[in-house]
Amino acid sequence: MCGIVGIVGHTPVAPLIVDALKRLEYRGYDSAGVATIEQGHLARRRAEGKLVNLERRLGEEPLGGLIGIGHTRWATHGVPNETNAHPHFAEDVAIVHNGIIENFAELREELSNEGFAFASQTDTEVVAHLIARELRAGKAPGDAAFAALKRLRGAFALAIMFRGDEDLIVGARNGPPLAVGHGDGEMYLGSDAIALAPFTNAITYLEDGDWVVVRRSGIEIFDMDGAPVARQRQQSIGTSMMVDKGNHRHFMEKEIHEQPEVISHTLAHYLDFSAGTVGNFDLPFDFAGIERMAISACGTAYLAGLISKYWFERYARLPVDIDIASEFRYREMPLPKNSAALFVSQSGETADTLASLRYCRSAGVPIGAIVNVRESTIARESDGIFPTLAGPEIGVASTKAFTCQLSVLASLALKAAKARGTISAEQERDFVRQLSEAPRYAAQALKLSERIEAVARELSHVRHVLYLGRDTSYPLAMEGALKLKEISYIHAEGYAAGELKHGPIALIDEQMPVIVIAPYDRIFEKTVSNMQEVAARGGRIILITDREGAAKATLKTLETIVMPDVPEFVAPIAYALPVQLLAYHTAVIMGTDVDQPRNLAKSVTVE
């Protein structure tokens, strides 16, 4: 999603803003811009595409000024070109915006009727004109911004600068996050702490409905009634975040390789390995007392939730309703008494997941959230949080956050099973031991990288791929397909292997690679039957299995990737890695922008 940076400084800010925007690149964007007040005038440089284009523009025509705002734009209203890139100007107002102004069409019409001329197709520009109109009416900048804010519907974070006041940026938050950074005689505004990390680690997060007046001497925060509000100043962990690629070509590769370590950290947070028990962490609900649990999330986080449905139902006998958040939020699901809700989100800011959470909140259901960003909105609005200890995930395609989500969910499933009396102490010890070995399995899976790269060469020539799996390998098949399509742009579908003959089998011919995820388990033979159906129609099978599976699947495959022997419970965590590596290598061979695939954003703060 869009990134926002603002600086009220004492040295030229444009280069600093561009540097900070680079730290927000991971969020995904398709144009960028920066504006300052230069010799008393609003001035800006904008460019379509990556930040290097903006840097080139600034190299040709540098921008002075001690105050400025910058933006990376992920297009929602209007194509990604220079005219639609932020900052937008209207008379004495410069503005950058993240999110969507839902009533922009009616506001635009109102302003157009009054003679305001629009230069772009964006929803953002209406906000600039609204404020300009208030300034014309004689209001002071802060009051003008406040009056305009009250007219806006939708989700937004804004940073606004005013010609004539070189010591003022107004920020506002209604949905997407916005943080103020406190410097020494300098102040900053950013859409996350990572952007502000080089400047300061003293951060104040705005809450929904807050707006802030930022001056060099300090800040004042107000609510939507205009009343001052106090928000805590926190030490961000931002400065200690390692936001570089190390020896890796891409953040995605680095993050795939970090998994043994981060899975281990995450599991150690929830399990007592030496005692062989689930830890004593707090819960927002009592697993023993609930009859159903609703889980909701988007994308990869949803697929982690889907895997956990098998775990909660199988081991804890707890029925789980799992939904994609964009469906859940509108489908008016009845939430019976004695139910609980769990939300899964790396960023903790995904608009649909947050809306689903609020739906459950209004139904009075206790809420837990599995998040990677502890300061996020979803974390703050939950009754209890279960952090994933993955560290910052910069690659747009989620990898380490996924396996850490699975690690938390597996631990929670054991906690539930224990509370509900569906596993014995001995089984608990056994499951905890199995999970404790997940980092080792992940490390072994990484060793298959070269072999997987060879398979990726085959995939890089095709346009369509089918992924199949049963049980927990079915959501993993969908995850494999999602990963492949998002970074290599190859069309891929993940199916339950048993569903093949109900339609997708029509697609099978000699051109179609079929990736089958099938550890040797109770239902392996069933999957083999499905593979036979594929083989009989000339489909090219790439089998991801273990030694026993490789020995027992006596049919011709294009490739068999042999994983370490992994207990069934832990298999989804371990098998996620070859699936991620396959997508990664395919994308690298095809030369796509692996870390920032086209059209995608890391944190999806719009509906």
Contact with ligand F6R (CB under 6 A) among 221, 278, 604, 606: 604
CB of 300 to ligand F6R, least distance (A): 3
* Residue least distant from ligand F6R (Cβ): 299
SS (H, E, C) 553-599: CCCCCCEEEEECCCCHHHHHHHHHHHHHHHHHHHHHHHCCCCCCCCC
Q: CA-CA distance, 520 to 565, in Å (whole number)?
A: 9
The span from the first CA to the last CA of the chain, in angstroms, equals 12
299 near ligand F6R, rule: CB under 6 A: yes
Q: CA-CA distance, 473 to 576, in Å (whole number)?
A: 9
124 near ligand F6R, rule: CB under 6 A: no
Nearer to ligand F6R, 35 or 342 (CB): 342
For β-strands 154-162 and 165-174, DSSP reports them as: antiparallel
Nearer to ligand F6R, 381 or 437 (CB): 381
- Nearest alpha-carbon partner for 465 in 342, 358, 332, 583: 583
Tokens found for residue 164 = 């004539």
Nearer to ligand F6R, 236 or 353 (CB): 353
480 near ligand F6R, rule: CB under 6 A: no
* H/E element, 310: helix 299-316
Could you tell me which stretch among 12-20, 220-228, 251-259, 293-301 binds ligand F6R (CB under 6 A)? 293-301
Q: How many CB atoms lie within 10 A of CB 392?
A: 22
Nearer to ligand F6R, 224 or 243 (CB): 243
CB of 44 to ligand F6R, least distance (A): 31
176 near ligand F6R, rule: CB under 6 A: no
CB of 46 to ligand F6R, least distance (A): 27
| Total interface residues for ligand F6R by CB under 6 A | 15
> Quick one: CA torsion of 361, 364, 366, 369, rounded to 10 degrees?
-10
- Nearest alpha-carbon partner for 45 in 86, 16, 7, 74: 86
Nearer to ligand F6R, 339 or 372 (CB): 372
CB of 155 to ligand F6R, least distance (A): 15
**Known active-site residue 602:** yes
Q: Tell me, what DSSP letter sits at residue 536?
A: H
CB of 349 to ligand F6R, least distance (A): 7
Q: CA-CA distance, 548 to 551, in Å (whole number)?
A: 5
Residue 525, classed as helix, strand or coil, is: helix
CB of 507 to ligand F6R, least distance (A): 24
Give the total residue count for the chain. 607
Nearer to ligand F6R, 357 or 518 (CB): 357
CB 20 within 8 A of CB 198: yes
Q: CA-CA distance, 185 to 180, in Å (whole number)?
A: 14
Nearer to ligand F6R, 302 or 520 (CB): 302
CB of 333 to ligand F6R, least distance (A): 19
- Nearest alpha-carbon partner for 492 in 472, 508, 474, 513: 513
For β-strands 234-235 and 202-205, DSSP reports them as: antiparallel
Strands, E assignment, 462-519: 464-469, 491-496, 513-517
Nearer to ligand F6R, 397 or 500 (CB): 397
- Per CB under 6 A, contacts with ligand F6R among 390-409 are 397-398
Nearer to ligand F6R, 25 or 55 (CB): 25
CB of 324 to ligand F6R, least distance (A): 10
Could you tell me which stretch among 19-27, 295-303, 326-334, 581-589 binds ligand F6R (CB under 6 A)? 295-303
Contact with ligand F6R (CB under 6 A) among 92, 375, 486, 546: 486
Could you tell me which stretch among 199-207, 228-236, 272-280, 299-307 binds ligand F6R (CB under 6 A)? 299-307
Query: Per-residue x/- mask for ligand F6R, residues 337 to 366, rule CB under 6 A?
Result: --------xxx--x--x-------------
301 near ligand F6R, rule: CB under 6 A: yes
Strands, E assignment, 102-164: 154-162
Q: CA-CA distance, 533 to 415, in Å (whole number)?
A: 40
Nearer to ligand F6R, 505 or 590 (CB): 590
Tokens found for residue 376 = 């996020």
300 near ligand F6R, rule: CB under 6 A: yes
159 near ligand F6R, rule: CB under 6 A: no
Could you tell me which stretch among 143-151, 285-293, 294-302, 333-341 binds ligand F6R (CB under 6 A)? 294-302
**Known active-site residue 298:** no
Single out the catalytic residue among 50, 309, 400, 602. Answer: 602
Q: CA-CA distance, 534 to 363, in Å (whole number)?
A: 47
Nearer to ligand F6R, 47 or 324 (CB): 324
Q: CA-CA distance, 22 to 46, in Å (whole number)?
A: 15
Q: How many CB atoms lie within 10 A of CB 190?
A: 31
CB of 406 to ligand F6R, least distance (A): 13
Nearer to ligand F6R, 221 or 301 (CB): 301
DSSP 259-324: HHHHHHHHHHHHEETTTTEE-----SS-TTT-SEEEEEE-HHHHHHHHHHHHHHHHHH---EEEEE
CB of 101 to ligand F6R, least distance (A): 22
CB 435 within 8 A of CB 411: yes
Q: CA-CA distance, 507 to 491, in Å (whole number)?
A: 13
Single out the catalytic residue among 2, 298, 360, 404. Answer: 2
Kindly give, in sequence order, each residue whose CB lies less than 8 Å from that of residue 487, ignoring residues fewer than 6 positions away: 252, 396, 397, 583, 584, 586, 587, 592, 594, 597
Give the type of residue at 389: L
CB of 302 to ligand F6R, least distance (A): 7
**Which single residue is written with the structure tokens 């539930």?**
416
CB of 421 to ligand F6R, least distance (A): 32
Q: CA-CA distance, 300 to 153, in Å (whole number)?
A: 29
Query: Per-residue x/- mask for ligand F6R, residues 541 to 580, rule CB under 6 A?
Result: ----------------------------------------
What positions carry a catalytic annotation?
Answer: 2, 602
Interface ranges with ligand F6R (CB under 6 A) = 298-301, 345-347, 350, 353, 397-398, 482, 486, 603-604
